[in-house]
Structure 1
Amino acid sequence: MSIPIKYEKRDSIAFIAMNRPEKRNALSIDMANDFVDALKEAEKDPEVKAVIISGEGKIFSAGGDLEVLHTLNNSAKIMEYMKQALAVIQTIRELDKYVISAVHGFAAGAGFSIAVAADFVVAKKDAAFVCSFTNVGIIPDLGLLKELTDNLPNAVVKEWISSGRPIAAEEAYHRGMVNHVTEEDVVEAAIHYAAFIIDGPPLANKFVKHMVNHADEWSSGTNDLQETAVQTLLLQSEDNKKGIQAFFEKRKPDFKGR
């Protein structure tokens, strides 16, 4: 029996691959739990500067495991499944490190949710994103509905959701939901895309991620206080000193995340 999540570290990147290709990488309870464990493993490893999420086989993920969902016959069981699945999204968002999703084939349903929960999305040119929820009489979940409404006009969100049509990678790119489209191997493209993260300051990137993700929760005054507090911390960091020294010496800084 194959493990539902593959975890590997190479250099400064942690690779997390959904590994149920025979089930089109549908999100089972075991996969969700192992997914969260893998993300936390990457977070606590000081050598890891970025995380790349991908899917084994022909597609990124077909979404929730309908075979499992079909057997959940009461609210308590459904809520427990949803809680475990949502933990994947919440962990990606709150991780102290940048996460890149590398999408090939298609990302449908909860697979779409996972893909765009990442900080950056790299997609194969022939990949597609599908809001397949209404095809089975439900609504987008795992944060996808808010993610779409935060980034797209309402009319587009309603069309994407209610039509259930595949959204081509190029369309998603032009709508700002995808950062980079490639014709090459999508994981390799994600590795190349991650270069600015690997070369960048981990401590500053951590604060950028969390502050951008939570900016809509704060007033201008609260945001000003947060920026001032974080900047006061960073101006005393080793990375800041290394960055300034490298600037004057006209070379790239060697950031350590301290």
Structure 2
Amino acid sequence: MSDLVKYEVKDSIAHIVLNKPDKLNSLSSEMVKAILEILRQAEESVDVRVIILSSEGRSFCAGGDLDTLKTLNDSIEIANWMKQASSVTEAIMNINKFVVSAVHGHAAGAGFSLALASDFIVADRSAKFSLSFKNVGLIPDLGLMKLLSERVSLPIVKEWIVSGQTISADEGYKRGIINRITDKPVVEEAILFSKSIVEGPPISNQYVKYLLNRIGSIDYETALFQENLIQSLLLQSKDHKEGLAAFFEKRQPTYIGK
């Protein structure tokens, strides 16, 4: 595994740490491959209930790695790179466990996309989310426009993009992009934020993420059908029975993911 990304599982939390601080954790082809490999490991591990994505150094992620971009010589290579890079945000969206991005410093361009693809964002007050694509004649990518417009009104998103806006942590929190702002070390706050997920029922959490990530693209009848189908399965689970027993016994439930 590449040393560009560190991985550790502790107390049911998978810690994925971008580790290229000299390049502000910008996304290279090698880093993308490492992130995808680690996400697969975390998804398959029964010991993991939530994933925290963070970074070493001064910033969360400064976007695409310029050295990688300079090696792209034709439209085929560019298309392949775009497909590979966007597969990271797609993987974060589709993984069957909740992902918390712990953001400090700059989350610029593709780094902003990584944070938005996560289910939750915890940020320290130094965090800045940059949309500087207009400065290089490009559009936001890795799903950024869709992900951002699902959290912020469309006129505001348009304004931010065409003006090349940098959004502060306070503004991001006010607009509903960020779940928590902290003055403490951001990973420490992300661990505290993840506590209720770790202690919660893993199977139902998985279905909550699945349904809510699709809720905007399905009609009410389809949503109701899927809810009823999933609920019928969960009503037969050991975790549901444990939850009922804990309720009547006035104690905290211990979920096992079955």
Matches of 1:256 and 1:162, distance apart in 2: 48
Of all paired residues, the percent bearing the same amino acid is 49
| Pairwise CA distance, 1:99 | 0.3
Unaligned runs of 5+ residues in structure 1 are none
Counterpart amino acid of 1:253? P
The residue number in structure 1 matching 2:237 is 237
| Pairwise CA distance, 1:71 | 2.7
Question: Is 1:222 the equivalent of 2:222?
Answer: yes
Partner secondary structure for residue 177 of structure 2 = coil
Counterpart amino acid of 2:94? E
Question: Is 1:63 the equivalent of 2:73?
Answer: no
* Aligned residue pairs, count: 257
Matches of 1:73 and 1:159, distance apart in 2: 33
| Pairwise CA distance, 1:211 | 0.3
5 Å-filtered alignment, 1:99-114, equals 99-114=99-114
Query: 4+ runs of 1 displaced by more than 4 Å?
Result: none
5 Å-filtered alignment, 1:23-62, equals 23-62=23-62
| Pairwise CA distance, 1:66 | 1.9
Residue by residue over 1:176-209, the C-alpha shift from the partner in whole angstroms, topping out at 9 and shown as x without a partner, is: 1000000000001100100110111000000000
> If the length of structure 1 is used for normalisation, what is the TM-score?
0.97
Matches of 2:127 and 2:150, distance apart in 1: 23
Residue by residue over 1:154-192, the C-alpha shift from the partner in whole angstroms, topping out at 9 and shown as x without a partner, is: 221012112223200111011110000000000011001
Counterpart amino acid of 2:36? V
| Pairwise CA distance, 1:106 | 1.1
The residue number in structure 1 matching 2:197 is 197
Matches of 1:57 and 1:234, distance apart in 2: 42
5 Å-filtered alignment, 1:1-258, equals 3-258=3-258
Matches of 1:150 and 1:193, distance apart in 2: 22
Provide the alpha-carbon RMSD of the alignment: 1.0
Partner secondary structure for residue 150 of structure 2 = helix
Unaligned runs of 5+ residues in structure 2 are none
Matches of 1:226 and 1:165, distance apart in 2: 39
Counterpart amino acid of 2:79? M
Matches of 1:107 and 1:188, distance apart in 2: 19
| Pairwise CA distance, 1:54 | 0.6
Matches of 2:200 and 2:226, distance apart in 1: 21
Partner secondary structure for residue 194 of structure 1 = helix
